[in-house]
Amino acid sequence: MSNQNTFLWILLFAISALLVNSVGIFVIWKNRRWAEKTLEYFMCFAAGMLISSPLIMAFPNAIEKNGSAGLAALAGFIFMFMSNKLIKKKTQTRELAFGITAIQGILLHSLLDGVIYTVTFSVSTLTGVLTGLGLVAHEFAEGVITFTVLLKSGISSKKAALFAFFAAGLTTPIGALVAYPIISRISTSRLGLALGFVSGVLIYISAAHLLPEAGEHEKHHSSLSFALGVVLALVLLVIE
């Protein structure tokens, strides 16, 4: 796949993530009850996609390119684990401090999403699509969560929507555009390490972030949503 096509795929998914995130913000702004009812289904579906794509495609590709990709995957998982611990520790403060710290964490997470698009599409279109679908699916939930966190910090709904758009939505295409010139020029061996790191990050997001969060508000058919995410990843792999 040419560099131009790779860039277009990255741009397509990064903008899609921005749009889905914006829809999540708009929907909960206008209809909070419906958004809260469907939030867990989006999270479970995204978890199914994001646990499947690294295990069946991204990580095997990473190992093929670099035998140390397993260590990079472990580093990615530990990085997310420690970051999450730090954010949770700092958010045990007053409401405004909670909102500020949480939005910083979401901003970094969204930037990383953009980097993930760049790394995975640089490996292959299928790897990028498998990963991208899961990430785009979870953007709706992320938009809803970001808006809600900001509301809890005490700011107005209009400001919450605007800040959520910049922190959780716009940062994803920015992350992708910033990472592309770097990722597109690195060697195959280093790309394997980058993909291994990304695999660890994706596994953490699914297994230790999305699923536990959705599990706290278990709903009828939420397991089916998770299964559909896994099945879609397998179907896309088969029809490659």
pTM (predicted TM-score) = 0.71
Which has the minimum average pLDDT: 59-68, 122-131, 212-221?
A: 212-221
Per the structure, the count of domains in the chain is 1
Classify residue 66 as left (phi > 0), alpha (psi -120 to 50) or beta.
Answer: beta
Domain residue limits at 91: 3-238
Intra-chain end-to-end CA distance of the chain, in Å = 14
Q: How confident is the model at residue 75 (pLDDT cuts 50, 70, 90)?
A: very high
Q: What is the share, in percent, of the chain residues with pLDDT greater than 90? A: 13
Calculate ∠ Cα 118-41-163, nearest 5°. Answer: 55
Q: Say if residue 183's pLDDT is above 70.
A: yes
Write the CB contacts of 33 (distance below 8 Å, at least 6 apart in sequence). none
